Structure 1
């Protein structure tokens, strides 16, 4: 941890990945206001009330979790940075998490009445499953050590978000809700950078630990993973069973759990959760060519979508 204040010397390379991620993260900058989600209203009105309820709940759930990450998560990890530039990179992550959280509000307000939005906010603030995962992660941010906080963040962004990402991608794969999906794909692209970067920083510190301390950390991590996944799969069943795709979502969540572990240098934990097992409609939703709204010259909803779009085996790697 940095013990005293010093100016950042951007000409000095402490860790090459800091410079690379700073450049990549800043080049990917975007704003939710540049994607016209209201253009999805025709598609939205064609959905059944049950389908609309699913979309509202998953977007609301994302809003809650990203609010947690922007208010608590990124700040918690700033206490254990290894380099000055890492702190700068985390500053960027923090800002983008706030944009992500606002984006979900943009989606809700673009497609719903004020009364409906109020009901969703009430649901997300009181749903037992949603509140459980938010509290479980936040408790680690408050009391965990540096490596535990990184694990919690990687599990939050790399696993717990993905049950909620599934629906917009699934509808996009069916040629619906294109602009809503654009925002989700932009967020996924950011989260892929966050997860890979934090996984790399985790490995640097983890590999410096004595073997006994490594084992102790893993004895803490895997029960945490199983606990979070038990709640997540139950949440998935509650939300998605009403439209008949719960099992597909569970596979997607397990796939991303394996990717999160791999970001930290660990082997896959869940069987039958490879890329080939992911619902091809979701794959289609991820791979569909993005529309380029071009509000910032080269910066629009479809600019530089990056590796997360292809969902190949290296999908969350740099």
Structure 2
């Protein structure tokens, strides 16, 4: 058995500038949930109707499950197909932040809920059919899919499936409720946006190397997967939102973000919905501009740990 000499990663010899720019962008965005003043939202939480509290709890535990999936399974599924060592370094960063995202929801739970309530919330997630079904679909692709199929699944999770949950805190933010909780979510959205764009870029690199027949084959597979995920996500959305009357608004938001996921992959949108159709309160919340900033410790979601070259969506175009 021949054992080749192992190579160290050399950041002075960049093979793909997007690897370097993305790594720097992600490190610039670094944050920790423990530094966010979620406890300031206790009064808002106390005044929420019970049915809305239940919605928030279930939304957040569902998001926790998806972040756990990405950190434990999803990123590792992408690493074997990485082209450069710098790409692996980006995936390592993504995996850590997905773990921190999952921890952030537990930080919210520990602030707003009792231990008994937290156990019940997690028990619900382990048995809910639609939530478990979308996890099974994505895991199946991570375990058995081709390199490009795995990237499609990851982008759909990052850029589409999270958003049935993100709708709730963004809606409350627009109504000046649970503002500090929403600020945590906006930090997570900022990360997920970068993750989805980067992995979508890597998909486009691989897609460009296929012949015309192979390209058409993966496109058909991708749209079929999106239909399957959207159908299941509608069931999940109805279960969560019917009681508060937000279901149709959330489904529209889902379709808008499904189109964004396809665009990350360099594919044409599927649904007719645009940003103008989405609830403007929620769209405004998607802005990742800062509101919290601790000037004494220089920590906050507006704090820049370093100055790096700004990245635009066009940077990911092939």
* Same fold? TM cut 0.5: yes
- Where in structure 2 are there 5+ consecutive unaligned residues? 305-311
Counterpart position of 2:307: none
Instruction: Give the whole-Å Cα distance in 1 for the aligned partners of 2:41 and 2:165.
Output: 19
Between the aligned partners of 1:32 and 1:122, the Cα distance in structure 2 is: 23
Alignment match, 1:200:
201
Counterpart-to-counterpart distance in 2, 1:220 and 1:47: 43
Kindly state the Cα deviation for residue 124 of structure 1 after the two structures are TM-superposed.
0.7
Contact kept? 2:201, 2:316, Cα under 8 Å: no
* Contact residue 64 and residue 125 of structure 1 kept, 8 A: no
State the alpha-carbon separation in 2 of the partners of residues 22 and 42 from structure 1: 38
Check whether the contact 2:55–2:241 (CA below 8 A) recurs between aligned residues.
yes
Residues 218-276 of structure 1, C-alpha deviations (whole Å, 9 max, x = no match) = 222111110000000111111111111111111111111000100111111101x1011
Query: Which residue is equivalent to 1:164?
Result: 165
- What corresponds to 2:279 in structure 1? 279
Q: Are the aligned partners of 2:126 and 2:132 in contact in 1 as well (CA < 8 Å)?
A: yes
Q: Give the RMSD, CA atoms, in angstroms.
A: 2.1
CA–CA distance in structure 1, aligned partners of residues 201 and 285 of structure 2: 28
How much does 1:314 deviate?
A: 6.0
How many residue pairs were aligned? 307
**Which digits, 9 at most, give the CA deviation of each residue in 1:185-236, with x for residues without a partner?**
0000000100000111100111101111112212221111100000001111
Aligned twin of 2:309: none
| Counterpart secondary structure, 2:72 | helix
* Residue 86 (1) aligns with residue 87 (2): yes
CA distance in 2, matches of 1:208, 1:175: 48
Aligned to 1:257: 258
CA contact (8 A) 2:94 2:195 kept: yes
Asked whether the 8 Å contact 2:55–2:240 carries over to 1, the reply is: yes
Matched-pair contact (CA < 8 Å) for 1:196–1:316: no
Partner of 1:42: 43
Unpaired runs of 5+ residues, structure 1, are: 305-312
- Give the distance between the partners of 1:316 and 1:58, measured in 2 at CA: 33
Q: Take 2:255 and 2:96, find their aligned partners in 1: how far apart are those partners?
A: 28
State whether residues 290 and 301 of structure 2, in contact with CA within 8 Å, keep that contact through their aligned partners in structure 1.
no
Structure 2 distance, partners of 1:25, 1:56, is 28
| Partner Cα separation in structure 1 for residue 225 and residue 168 of structure 2 | 26
Which position in structure 2 is the counterpart of 1:246? 247
Q: What's the counterpart of residue 301 of structure 1?
A: 301
TM-score normalised according to structure 2 size: 0.92
Conserved in 2, the CA contact under 8 Å of 1:195 and 1:316?
Answer: no
Is the Cα contact below 8 Å between 1:34 and 1:301 reproduced in 2? no
Q: Does 1:188 align with 2:194?
A: no
1:170 Cα offset (Å): 0.2
- Bigger Cα displacement from structure 2, 281-290 vs 203-212: 281-290
